[in-house]
Structure 1
Amino acid sequence: MKILITTLLLISALFAEIKVGDGFPKLTLEDQFSKKTEVKQVGTTTLLLSFEKDVSAEIKKYLETKEEGFLEANNLMYISDISSMPSFITSMFAIPKMKKFSFKISLIYDEEEAEAISREEGKVTVIALENNLVKKIEFIEPKALDSLLNN
């Protein structure tokens, strides 16, 4: 019985949502060119995460107005959860389309990894990290990206 309780506690801790003060989990990420990417472990980074197609479209529209290298120059990382997308759609349509973008998108393919990250419907999840510790979590309207990132 003790083993069962311990196992259940460990499993629930693994899939608990990330909170301020937590270390950001190591995610298995690839960009749209199938190159492994990872969240920077040292220094300051702001993550822009999308979990919905409409939110991703708004982020894309915003990033297309910026010069190439904008994300890297501003210590930003754009991560999109595509774990619920059928693999056929992903490989035949979504990835080829993403390869035409002028910015890098890190992609979450694993649904369990995506579940650990808080989200609100129709919003961009913005996570500020310092040395891989979560300093701030915000949920913003995609149209508010410009005012958030230019402050």
Structure 2
Amino acid sequence: MKYLAILLFSLLPVLAHAVEPGERLAPWTLLDQYDQPYSLGADTRLLLVARDMDGAKLVKAALAGQPKGYLEARGAVFVADIQRMPALISKLFAIPAMRDYSYRVLLDREGRVASRYAGAEGQVLWLVLDQGVLVTLREFADAQELKAALEGAATQ
């Protein structure tokens, strides 16, 4: 029985429903690194999702040196899946360090939001939205490519 449970839990990511272009994203609310709530809304044009620390590091590198409000000016938000981070580490070290970032990080502490969007670990999932409907999605594994795409998002 124990092995059956382990098998079922290991298959959950494979069985998870991946959003497809044309689908409306289900609403959600997450707290950021300042414990301020943010709800996915019709004004969100770009959703960046990092499923692990490597993906979050790509976003950090792409946004290095950018002014405060850079993502917001593009209608973009960044969701970081931190469910696997030990609670003590996140509370004492990681989240306080994130308060020094020049951008908002929406913290998915239980993985309930990031798991809705199928994406590879070590990458950043880029979802373009129009009034809450998914238009396109891409994945980035390179910080420079992500940075260039964000610069291009300013002109759209």
- Detail structure 1 runs of 4+ shifted over 4 Å in the superposition: none
**Cα displacement string for residues 30-65 of structure 1 (whole angstroms, at most 9, x for unaligned residues):** 1000011122224x5111111111221121122122
Q: CA offset at residue 113 of structure 1?
A: 3.0
Question: 123-132 or 138-147: which moved more?
Answer: 138-147
**Which letter does structure 1 place at the counterpart of 2:104?**
K
Contact 1:124 1:140 (8 Å CA) reproduced: yes
The two structures have a TM-score, normalised by structure 2, of 0.79
Residue in 2 that maps onto 1:3: none
Residue in 1 that maps onto 2:34: 33
The two structures have a TM-score, normalised by structure 1, of 0.82
Residue in 2 that maps onto 1:47: 47
Distance 1:67 1:113 in 2: 27
Residue in 2 that maps onto 1:92: 92
Distance 2:146 2:133 in 1: 22
- 5+ residue gaps in structure 2? 1-15
**Cα displacement string for residues 89-134 of structure 1 (whole angstroms, at most 9, x for unaligned residues):** 1111111111111111111112233321110132110000000001
Distance 2:123 2:73 in 1: 24
Contact 2:27 2:41 (8 Å CA) reproduced: no
Please state whether the residue corresponding to 1:150 is helix, strand or coil: helix
Distance 2:115 2:68 in 1: 30
Distance 1:59 1:35 in 2: 20
Please state whether the residue corresponding to 2:97 is helix, strand or coil: helix
- 5+ residue gaps in structure 1? 1-14
Aligned length: 136
Residue in 2 that maps onto 1:11: none
Residue in 2 that maps onto 1:62: 62
Residue in 1 that maps onto 2:147: 146
Please state whether the residue corresponding to 1:103 is helix, strand or coil: coil
Compute the RMSD of aligned alpha carbons.
1.6
Distance 2:151 2:74 in 1: 10
**Which letter does structure 2 place at the counterpart of 1:146?**
K
Distance 1:56 1:95 in 2: 13
Contact 1:28 1:108 (8 Å CA) reproduced: no
